[in-house]
Amino acid sequence: MRWNAPKVAWTLLATLASSGLSVADESFTLPSTTLTVPKPTSPYFRDYTNTTNQFVEGVFRTAADLEPKKIPPTKLEALTLPVVPGPALGPTESGPLPRVIASPDSIIPGIVVEKTFANPWADIPRSQLIPRAGTFLIPGKGPGTYSFLDFITNNYREKPPVFPYPPFALQTPSGFDADYRYLDKPDNTQTDPLDAIKRMHLTPDIMVTIGGQSSVRYMHEVDSRLASGVNEYSLYRNRVWVDAWYTEQFRVVSEFISALAYGNEKELLPIDKNTAAIQNLFVDVNVGTYGGNLAYVRVGRQELLFGSQRLISTADWANTRRTFEGVRGFWRSTSMDFDVFCVIPVIPDTTKQDDVDRDIKFLGAWATFRPVNQVVDVYYLGLQDDTLTGDRYVTTAPKGKRDIHTFGARYAGNEGPFLFDIEGMVQGGTAVDRNVEAHAYTLSAGYELQEHAWRPQFWLGYDYASGTGDPTLGAKDRTFNQLFAFGHYYFGYLDLVGRQNIQDCYGQVALYPHNWITVLAQYHHFRLAKSRDFLYNAAGKPTRRSATGAAGQDVGQEIDLLANIHLTPHQDVLIGYSKLFAGDFIKNTGAKVSPELLYVMYNLRW
């Protein structure tokens, strides 16, 4: 921008005179006066006299704090002044001052400068982005109401509010990964009473967030666990976490969990109850900047969640959730993440403080790439289990250990209304003196009717996980190991089927009558991959088997129906019903059952 030199000169001289500034031969002399500088939109700016080079809050320098400056002659005819954003200087005791905002290396030496900077916490923490699971849903984006509270108060929004966590009752992401960074944006208009305990800047260098979750789930099971009978009970869970940062260098996270169960008529499962435990307790340490992005090392007890969650998940349907202890290194950018880890699983214990299984070591490397509307995962996972385990098929065989290596890749996303998810995994190693050669894959495609008011979304897919066709001693173990999967999400809500020795032809339909109501229906047709291998449940445990294969491969057909109602920004209700229509394999290998499940869940996040 070219300035009119004579006009600038006259304006400058007139303003100096009206402000009480005297003009010497070659200098401007500042009298004893104080400038009133309005506080900028962001409370953070850098003070160039601060030798610690830290961002400070609420510190304003004035002209009275500075020595008078001497400005050498400048030819205004050839002067082009830069326009640099910053706070306008307020009035002095003698009148207004001109707005002079420039960088520290301005071409006009000696000008007193205060330069504003963006909030240094704006990008802290760069949380792990919630990965798209399989048969993912596309939430609403247009005008409308986004909670039941919006609906009854006629709060019609032009676009969705910011969701720090998914607006759904099941919450697989970790609480400490909830993204509240929007609260520090200068233009943020979304407020909530609980904002008072989010991103609290206790000092310029310390930020603390407190959060929690409480839920209750009523369960009515018929023929659950493939055993006849009714099991009616309730599950309760409370979690509280504290997330504290010291600048971007250091982080401490602590989370408490209490998971309770009442009314069970069948024996409690290990995932149902954990009276009081530490779910997360770790530190993150900044180990450098690479490619313009920070890298961290995390040490301690921590939840893990990667990719589609077909192999690693927090398993939120479990009342206790899953966690590990160990070390993890991670690096995040806007288009790519890279993680390496070595951990051991934490085993819930209802009688004493949880402990870890030191015989099991789980390690891996995971890279995620994010093209627009898509995701690519490439990974390696290693499971070393030194527990002496018997052979599944030959009970008289010597016991042995397991050492399993998994290599996999995934490509998922959407192109306009077309949805897709492809993932493949291969495994090798040894298991109880058998060589392991196993694999699993997923092929699925979907379509969204974007112009329809309820935005129906359809998926069709096929899941395959290999099984062992020859169980004789010495033969290869070809049964895929699902590791630490979220089987409940993929193979029906009855939890009778896991990603081991299974074929699943499935379909899914999702509807949004309102942006705050999700209605979903799934259909599964399960068949064993190999008739002489076991049926494995959602935890990967063998349940039923036909040793000769005479019972066939048809496990049955399952339907799953659910509706999630997003009541308020903090509350959801989930209602669901599931039923298995048993196939020949179920009918011919034990009690002739047709399991079903009715459940209602209320979830509160704060």
Domains and CATH numbers, the chain: 148-605 (2.40.160.100)
pLDDT score of 560:
98
pLDDT tens-digit readout, 475-514 = 999 999 999 999 899 999 999 999 999 999 999 999 999 9
CA angle (356 as vertex; 399, 316 as ends), nearest 5: 105
Please give the model's pTM, rounded to 2 decimal places.
0.80
Q: Does 395 score more than 60 pLDDT?
A: yes
Q: Does 98 score more than 80 pLDDT?
A: no
pLDDT score of 121:
87
Of residues 312 and 82, more confidence is placed in: 312
pLDDT score of 80:
42
The one-letter code for the residue type at 306 is F
| Section 279-300 average pLDDT | 96
CB 588 within 8 A of CB 546: yes
pLDDT score of 149:
97
CB 413 within 8 A of CB 371: yes
Closest CA to 465 of 440, 429, 437, 492: 440
Q: Does 432 score more than 60 pLDDT?
A: yes
Q: Does 29 score more than 70 pLDDT?
A: no
pLDDT tens-digit readout, 47-70 = 333 332 233 333 333 333 444 444
| Section 339-365 average pLDDT | 92
Token match 């496990």: residue? 555
pLDDT score of 167:
94
Of residues 50 and 345, more confidence is placed in: 345
pLDDT score of 281:
98
Structure tokens at 185: 């944006």
pLDDT score of 45:
36
Q: Does 207 score more than 50 pLDDT?
A: yes
* C-alpha to C-alpha distance for 339 and 330, rounded to whole angstroms: 4
* C-alpha to C-alpha distance for 414 and 183, rounded to whole angstroms: 30
The pLDDT confidence band at residue 127, using thresholds 50, 70 and 90, is confident
pLDDT score of 118:
64
Structure tokens at 434: 């058998």
Name, in order, each residue with C-beta under 8 angstroms of 548's C-beta and a sequence gap of 6 or more: 532
pLDDT score of 444:
98
Closest CA to 257 of 212, 226, 309, 209: 212
pLDDT tens-digit readout, 548-568 = 999 999 999 999 999 999 999
Provide the total of helices (H) and of strands (E) in the chain, helices listed first: 4, 26
Mean pLDDT of the chain: 84
| Section 284-296 average pLDDT | 95
* C-alpha to C-alpha distance for 55 and 579, rounded to whole angstroms: 58
Q: Phi and psi at residue 194, in whole multiples of 5°?
A: -80, -5
Q: Does 24 score more than 90 pLDDT?
A: no
| Section 181-185 average pLDDT | 91
Of residues 39 and 237, more confidence is placed in: 237
Burial 561-583 (b: 16+ CB within 10 A, else e): ebbbbbbebbbbebebebbbebb
pLDDT score of 119:
78
Dihedral in degrees, nearest 10, Cα atoms 267, 273, 275, 279: 150
Query: What percent of the chain clears pLDDT 90, i.e. is strictly above it?
Result: 73
Dihedral in degrees, nearest 10, Cα atoms 244, 279, 403, 553: -130
CB 397 within 8 A of CB 473: yes
pLDDT score of 543:
97
3-class DSSP assignment, residue 367: strand
The pLDDT confidence band at residue 353, using thresholds 50, 70 and 90, is confident
Q: Does 81 score more than 50 pLDDT?
A: no
Tell me 86's DSSP state.
-
CB 465 within 8 A of CB 501: yes
* C-alpha to C-alpha distance for 303 and 582, rounded to whole angstroms: 35
Query: What percent of the chain clears pLDDT 70, i.e. is strictly above it?
Result: 81
